[in-house]
């Protein structure tokens, strides 16, 4: 199949079905002009800001060589939705730049099915992209909408704020260890659940939007809890005291490994202590555990409750 036939058969179809889903399930309008012209045309409603983010997934770096195409499609969209969640933005549109290396039509079909399964939970319309040949890589750019001035940035944490994390940390790292066949005590584990945490992360889109009224700063945990929290601390010019025992982490790995491994796609956020009840209500309404793990301090850096410094180690490419 050539480039244009692929676009027509798979990407254009995905665009049409996702446009329909977007208008059925959200108040956001599909693109005025979608796939097929030189540019797509979008209308940003008055009073809203466009939140834009991109992530590239490369075979052998972001996913093991043997990852199923469904999971690659799933994850490349899910990790981008996680960035919108971290800003408190509602997903609207995305572009897909895909470089293929002799993948079959069945591969592309499964890849699109993976994407389609993510956007069942969080509708977002495919509006364009690029299709090329070379080493397999997928680059997705997402666009979301957030009421003007209300986005959750990394720079808003205040001294005295509580620090929270959603869900459970380190399960994707367990999944990676399993996928790579690494030795460990995996006997009591639900292995397929751990692999799903690696390959099919659930972007916390509803949670991010719900936190807009409470959180002072927010980030999604992609490189490791400590490393990502540290980005918030640096940009907010504050420090943190963490209660390590309270961190909701898998028991299958040592705690320090869980909180320095990537791919969790949970949200780490800060909020004033006066928001505790409201945050408890959000946890209940979203059906997601939100755990208080420490507080923001004026002393820079990260420390445990005993005052020992914590190193913000995490995954880096360079």
Closest CA to 122 of 151, 169, 150, 80: 80
Distance of CA 90 to the CA centre of its chain: 13
In the complex, what is the shortest distance from the CB of residue 26 to ligand ADP, in angstroms, rounded to a whole number?
20
Q: Of residues 69, 128, 208, 312, which one binds ligand ADP by CB under 6 A?
A: 128
Other residues' Cβ atoms within 10 Å of the Cβ of residue 263: 22
Asked if residue 26 binds ligand ADP (CB under 6 A), the reply is no
Residue of minimal Cβ distance to Mg ion: 130
Intra-chain end-to-end CA distance of the chain, in Å: 37
Q: Of these partners, ligand ADP, Mg ion, none, which one is at the site of residue 118 (CB under 5 to 8 Å by kind)? A: none
Asked if residue 178 binds ligand ADP (CB under 6 A), the reply is no
Residues contacting ligand ADP: total by CB under 6 A: 13
Asked if residue 7 binds ligand ADP (CB under 6 A), the reply is yes
Q: Of these partners, Mg ion, ligand ADP, none, which one is at the site of residue 98 (CB under 5 to 8 Å by kind)? A: ligand ADP
* 26 or 131: CB nearest ligand ADP: 131
Rounded Cα distance, 6 and 253, in Å? 43
Q: Of residues 3, 130, 190, 284, which one binds Mg ion by CB under 5 A?
A: 130
Asked if residue 3 binds Mg ion (CB under 5 A), the reply is no
Q: Could you tell me the maximum CA-CA distance found in the chain, to the nearest angstrom?
A: 62
Asked if residue 98 binds ligand ADP (CB under 6 A), the reply is yes
* 127 or 151: CB nearest ligand ADP: 127
Asked if residue 284 binds ligand ADP (CB under 6 A), the reply is no
* 130 or 213: CB nearest Mg ion: 130
Give contact residues for ligand ADP (rule: CB under 6 A): 7, 11, 35-38, 96, 98, 126, 128-131
Give contact residues for Mg ion (rule: CB under 5 A): 130
């Amino acid at each position: 199949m050539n480039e244009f036939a692929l676009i027509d058969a798979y990407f254009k179809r995905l665009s049409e079905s996702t446009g329909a889903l977007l208008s059925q399930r959200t108040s956001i309008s599909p693109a005025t002009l979608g796939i097929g012209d030189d540019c797509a045309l979008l209308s940003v409603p008055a009073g809203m800001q466009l939140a834009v983010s991109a992530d590239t997934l490369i075979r052998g770096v972001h996913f093991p060589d043997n990852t199923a195409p469904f999971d690659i499609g799933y994850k490349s969209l899910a990790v981008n939705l996680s960035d919108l969640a971290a800003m408190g933005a509602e997903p609207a549109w995305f572009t897909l730049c895909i470089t293929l290396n002799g993948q079959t039509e069945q591969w592309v079909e499964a890849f699109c099915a993976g994407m389609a399964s993510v956007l069942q939970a969080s509708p977002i319309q495919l509006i364009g992209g690029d299709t090329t040949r070379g080493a397999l890589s997928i680059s997705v750019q997402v666009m979301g909408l957030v009421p003007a001035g209300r986005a959750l940035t990394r720079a808003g944490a205040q001294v005295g704020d509580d620090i929270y994390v959603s869900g459970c940390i380190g399960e994707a790292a367990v999944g990676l260890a399993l996928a790579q066949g690494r030795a460990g005590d995996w006997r009591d584990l639900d292995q397929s659940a751990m692999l799903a945490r690696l390959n099919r992360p659930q972007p916390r889109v509803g949670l991010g939007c719900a936190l807009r009224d409470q959180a002072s700063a927010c980030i999604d945990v992609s490189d490791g809890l400590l490393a990502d929290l540290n980005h918030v601390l640096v940009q907010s010019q504050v420090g943190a005291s963490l209660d390590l025992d309270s961190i909701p982490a898998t028991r299958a790995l040592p705690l320090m490994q869980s909180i320095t491994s990537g791919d969790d796609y949970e949200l780490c956020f800060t909020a004033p202590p006066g928001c505790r009840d409201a945050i408890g209500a959000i946890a209940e309404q979203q059906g997601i555990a939100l755990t208080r793990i420490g507080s923001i301090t004026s002393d820079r850096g990260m420390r445990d409750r005993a005052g020992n410094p914590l190193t913000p180690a995490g995954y880096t490419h360079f």
